[in-house]
Structure 1
Amino acid sequence: MTFKFHKLLPVSAAVVALATMSAYASADQIVKIGHVGPLTGGSAHLGKDNENGARLAIEEINAKGLTIGGQKITLQLDGQDDGADPRQATQVAQKLVDDKVVAVIGHLNSGASIPASKIYSDAGIVQISPSATNPAYTQQGFKTTFRVVATDAQQGPALANYAGTALNVKTVAVIDDSTAYGQGLANEFEKTAKARGIKVLSHDATNDKAVDFRAILTKVKGENPDAIMFGGMDATGGPFAKQAKQLGLRAKILAGDGVCTESLANLAGAAADNVVCSQAGMALERMDGGAAFSAKYAKRFGHAIEFDAPFTYDTVYIIVDAMKRANSTDAAKILAAIPTTDYKGVIGETTFDSKGDLKHGVISLYNYKAGKKTLLDVVKM
């Protein structure tokens, strides 16, 4: 019996070793995808909406199963908060690089996306913003910067042209929040407005933390413009529109996608009905997969889409599509595959030009009726 016992020991150890090796071989490789947006501050509701869209896509892909290069992959969302602050944005960008993410979805704001972009460029990690619209973001010469929305060079003119044609605006006052986004959009609007003969009476600046706009609005009231172009986000745009109504301004409020959210009606109250705004992408109700995505999102998170969740959702699939075409989860190989993307998803077809912008941008125009965001028109650029 002793002889047999000693004889069996190495066999048992071998079985255990083989089982352990087999377990390691079959274990999924964790691949991290970063997401950055403001999860605190005035735009936290928009940042969370973006993060939710990305999270929904990752959960779906993991549930279906993903294999790249013969290896089973589990995607993990590395979500970070930049507070819509440029300095914080660079800090979390470096954290994502240190976390060894293979790609980054973000940032939400142009003012955060632009400073963070150099860090991703230096690290050779692709950055795809679902919402940054300032043209400068993709004009820095970086090979890592992409976006899945139109730019302010398209959004500003579309809004100005609509104001002049459909609203018969002859005079306008321009106000921006001094951020890369708000100032950039306001400037693009102003250039087109002047070119089509709309008289720009004034251009004033506030900031993205302001809550009291009565001094600027009182000045503008004396100018009596047909419209006021406000470059900023909904956290400031809502109170701005409300205070304009309280002061009795007759001017229509024009704004870009930062203001054009479902939350504006809560932030502006009845004054939301005086707002006409643009969105740098296809309207949800015009997206082929919009209804199905809305239902999935509501089931998963218990509330409706706020803003750009479909764009972050598709961006995850665009990154995974690049992994599949590269047959690799290596960040450099994913980056190399991104420029040749031709992906059809919820937001439509995504193809990039040489700078990383969409080849075919779309601008959607909205107003609010009894507090409900209502589509006016879709302009293909």
Structure 2
Amino acid sequence: MKPMKTAMAFIACAAAVLGLAGGAAAQEVVKIGVAGPLTGSAAQSGKDDERGVRLAVEELNAKTFMVAGKPVRFELVSMDDQGDPKVGVNVAQKLVDGGVAAVIGHYNSGVSIPAARIYNEAHVVMMTGASSNPQLTHLGFPYVFRLATNDNVMGGRMALYSAKVLGAQRAAVIDDRTAYGTGVADVFVESAKKAGLEIVAREYSTDKTTDFKAILTQIKSRNPQVVFYGGYYAQAATLARQMGELGINATIVGGDGICSPEFDKLSAGVADKRMFCAQGGAPLDTLPDGKAFRARFRSAFNADVDTYAPAFYAATLVVADAMQKTGSTKPEVFVKALRDQAFTSILGPVRFDANGDWIDAPVTVYRLNGGSLTAIAQKD
């Protein structure tokens, strides 16, 4: 009897192992890419965005996410595009070759625009929570979406705010010649003229400029009341500091690229109460799950939310929801839900128009106040 018992035990053990193997095989692994500047001057924003996606993936995996009755585990694939268009295109190709179903990113418009073609041709969904240049969603790419407010809204809002609320009559404009910076600055100029705001100077820099004094010397003689900067917070903070050194007391305004808590530290506090920026979305703490999200974020990363982590978090969950709605993890299938259906998110209701833009995307104006950004006006 002993050999029989041993054989039966072996068979039972083998069956258990096979059962476990079968269960593991039944769990589909879906790769979600995230791409942004994890190094360089915008690294703070890139890391913030990545954390938003990472938190979403961790929460999805913790609750045994199901698609068409089968368990799905998400695998995060994160890559550094350095905020550089050429690097971004290479990153996009690597993500596609690696078999991702969707990419949440990129951060910079100048990177997202060329990368979008790679994703679209490969039938991989791309959803950015930050890139705001209107061109991105006018490329005719059905796999590209924006869960953010575009420059037409933000540039226009800051022009009207400068004229109507700040009471400015003269404005100088500087942009960094990136797709984002030029786009939002162009909209500001066009909207400012319609609002009766005189553009006394239009100057250009780059996204790596560290010395604005030659430009500022030209601008100072024209006595602007506001200086609009089309670009990102690291360069804008340097601009603000050098404005102070040259005795230029104009208010600094800009789009979401300068809308970061890091601005105050990098500018040595010289722009406190004199920097205003527009950012897509409603203030996090006013959202129903906003404070809870902030707490979970801090617990997970020992860091506070910077700017667009909630949007990148929401974009990840919207993509997952589209998979559930269609019962498929294949981009060619779940993209149809993104095109046709509505979603709920931490940001509020989400529905995309024919171009892939978020319909009725909110925008909020912030003021740098005591080292933090304080919401002072919000679109209804």
TM-score by length of 1: 0.95
CA RMSD of aligned residues (A): 1.7
Q: Structure 1: which 5+ runs fail to align?
A: none
The residue aligned with 2:333 is 333
Look up the equivalent residue of 2:353 and give its one-letter code: D
Contact 2:35 2:104 in 1 (8 A): yes
Contact 1:86 1:112 in 2 (8 A): yes
Deviations 1:298-335 (A, max 9, x none): 11111211110100111111011001011111121122
The residue aligned with 2:193 is 194
1-side partners of 2:168 and 2:5: how far apart? Answer: 94
Contact 2:155 2:254 in 1 (8 A): no
The residue aligned with 1:82 is 81
Q: Secondary structure at the match of 2:72?
A: strand
The residue aligned with 1:122 is 121
Q: How far is 1:57 from its partner?
A: 1.0
The residue aligned with 2:303 is 303
Give yes or no for the alignment of 1:25 onto 2:22: yes
* Aligned 1:150-299 pairs, distance under 5 A: 150-273=149-272, 274-299=274-299
2-side partners of 1:130 and 1:199: how far apart? Answer: 33
Q: How far is 1:341 from its partner?
A: 3.6
The residue aligned with 2:356 is 356
Contact 2:323 2:329 in 1 (8 A): yes
Q: How far is 1:98 from its partner?
A: 0.8
The residue aligned with 2:134 is 135
Q: How far is 1:15 from its partner?
A: 5.0
Deviates more, 1:371-380 or 1:123-132: 371-380
Q: How far is 1:343 from its partner?
A: 1.8
Q: Secondary structure at the match of 2:299?
A: helix
Q: Structure 2: which 5+ runs fail to align?
A: none
2-side partners of 1:367 and 1:12: how far apart? Answer: 71
Q: How far is 1:127 from its partner?
A: 0.5
Q: Secondary structure at the match of 2:174?
A: strand
Q: How far is 1:25 from its partner?
A: 2.0
Deviations 1:205-236 (A, max 9, x none): 10001111111011100111111110011111
Look up the equivalent residue of 1:22 and give its one-letter code: G
Contact 1:124 1:335 in 2 (8 A): no
The residue aligned with 1:91 is 90
Look up the equivalent residue of 1:131 and give its one-letter code: A
Look up the equivalent residue of 1:334 and give its one-letter code: F
1-side partners of 2:305 and 2:4: how far apart? Answer: 66
Count residues with an aligned counterpart: 377
Look up the equivalent residue of 2:369 and give its one-letter code: K
Look up the equivalent residue of 2:251 and give its one-letter code: K
2-side partners of 1:329 and 1:167: how far apart? Answer: 49
2-side partners of 1:125 and 1:245: how far apart? Answer: 47
2-side partners of 1:180 and 1:75: how far apart? Answer: 32
Q: Secondary structure at the match of 2:44?
A: helix
1-side partners of 2:212 and 2:305: how far apart? Answer: 29
2-side partners of 1:330 and 1:108: how far apart? Answer: 24
Q: Secondary structure at the match of 1:223?
A: coil
Contact 1:272 1:371 in 2 (8 A): no
The residue aligned with 1:345 is 345
Contact 1:158 1:379 in 2 (8 A): no
Q: How far is 1:14 from its partner?
A: 5.8
Look up the equivalent residue of 2:184 and give its one-letter code: L
The residue aligned with 1:371 is 371
Contact 1:289 1:345 in 2 (8 A): no
Look up the equivalent residue of 2:374 and give its one-letter code: T
Look up the equivalent residue of 1:326 and give its one-letter code: T
Deviations 1:152-193 (A, max 9, x none): 011111110011100111111110001000010000111000
TM-score by length of 2: 0.95
Contact 1:176 1:232 in 2 (8 A): yes
